[in-house]
Amino acid sequence: MVLVVETTQNLIEIRQNEKASIAFVPTMGNLHQGHLSLLREALTKFEVVYFSIFVNPKQFGPKEDFNRYPRTLVDDLNLIKSLDAEFTTKKIIVFAPKNPEEIYPPGFNHSISVLGDVSNILEGSIRHGHFDGVATVVHRLFELIKPQEAYFGLKDYQQFLVIKHMVKDLALPIIITGMPIIREDSGLALSSRNQYLSSEERTEALTLSKTIWRIEKIINRKKENLPKAQEEIINILKDEKWNYLEIRDADTLNQDLSQSKRVTLLAVYQLRSTRLLDNLQVTIS
């Protein structure tokens, strides 16, 4: 069963009457198979799944794509219903606020500030305030929905770590689960922003996944190969389309990898104004 809820008041009432333990999948809509993989996993484990669709203004900078971000609620609901047909005994509550005031009522005057390195590097250093916006909306949704477990895509790897840190620091009783990136057959990671690309750019975008797989091969799971991989990265970064391509510790995002058992390759490749993110984790010894 799918129930669509448009107001916070309605959401609170429904949640208050919920006896079962629940899972939560937060999204900004324009759903693709990546989002559906989160919903599928949640439905496999829980009887009731809350699923939010909200393009959060607080996580977009003034020059970013908030206004043109694709809003496709009718198609999104059809995709959710197609999954509902697979999980006939389960309940999906879709929270799709009809306007931003449902999340941020007039006078709403609070924000979660994400302090420390995880928020100031990589995406955080390019998109100032972005992670504060993400943490603020996710915290607000967590407070309204009070899930036992919440699912995030690992494509936004740094976001996933920011949320994990927030839950730990604020002692929120919620399990945060990251789900693997879903890719097209070509290797391109699924993203709502892929639709900004022309067909030539789509081909060029494959540079991103191909490059991180090449670096993964160079590392070949061995710490001793990291310097060779770093050298290769210096060469690759001569192409200015790369916003960054870095190897960092997979848990802390530290650059010092001397104690690391798992590293992450994090990259952003920019085609015109579209920034394409990708990443990959490698266990090393």
Of 158 and 260, CB closest to ligand PAF: 158
* CA 221 from centroid of its chain's CA atoms: 26
List C-alpha distances in Å: 38 to 23, 48, 124, 206, 208.
Answer: 10, 14, 25, 24, 23
Judged by CB under 6 A, does residue 265 bind ligand PAF? no
Amino acid in position 131 = F
**Which DSSP state fits 273?**
T
Candidate list 114, 134, 179, 215; residue touching ligand PAF; CB under 6 A: 134
Q: How far is the CB of 157 from ligand PAF (least distance, A)?
A: 11
Of 79 and 237, CB closest to ligand PAF: 79
Of 38 and 197, CB closest to ligand PAF: 38
Of 54 and 226, CB closest to ligand PAF: 54
Binding residues for ligand PAF, total number by CB under 6 A:
10
> Is residue 128 flagged as an active site residue?
no
Amino acid in position 261 = K
> Which range touches ligand PAF (CB under 6 A), out of 63-71, 99-107, 134-142, 234-242?
134-142
DSSP element (H, E) containing 16? helix 8-16
Residues in region 27-66 near ligand PAF by CB under 6 A: 27-28, 56, 59
Burial category of 202 from C-beta neighbours within 10 Å (exposed 0-12, middle 13-18, buried 19 and up): middle
Contact 276, 270 (CB under 8 A): yes
> Which range touches ligand PAF (CB under 6 A), out of 23-31, 60-68, 83-91, 227-235?
23-31
Contact 274, 201 (CB under 8 A): yes
Print burial letters for 11-30: b (CB count within 10 Å at least 16), e (below 16).
beebbeeeeeebbbbbbbbb
Quick note: the x/- pattern for ligand PAF over 158-197, rule CB under 6 A, is -x--------------------------------------
Of 113 and 203, CB closest to ligand PAF: 113
Candidate list 22, 26, 95, 191; residue touching ligand PAF; CB under 6 A: 26
Which of 234, 178, 169, 245 lies closest to 207, judged by CA? Answer: 245
> Which range touches ligand PAF (CB under 6 A), out of 25-33, 115-123, 178-186, 235-243?
25-33
C-alpha Rg value of the chain to the nearest Å: 19
List C-alpha distances in Å: 204 to 59, 234, 240.
Answer: 27, 20, 14
Q: How far is the CB of 205 from ligand PAF (least distance, A)?
A: 19
DSSP element (H, E) containing 205? helix 199-219
Amino acid in position 147 = P
Q: How far is the CB of 100 from ligand PAF (least distance, A)?
A: 12
Candidate list 94, 138, 219, 282; residue touching ligand PAF; CB under 6 A: 138
- Interacting residues with ligand PAF (CB under 6 A): 26-28, 56, 59, 134, 137-138, 156, 159
Q: Which residues are catalytic?
A: 35
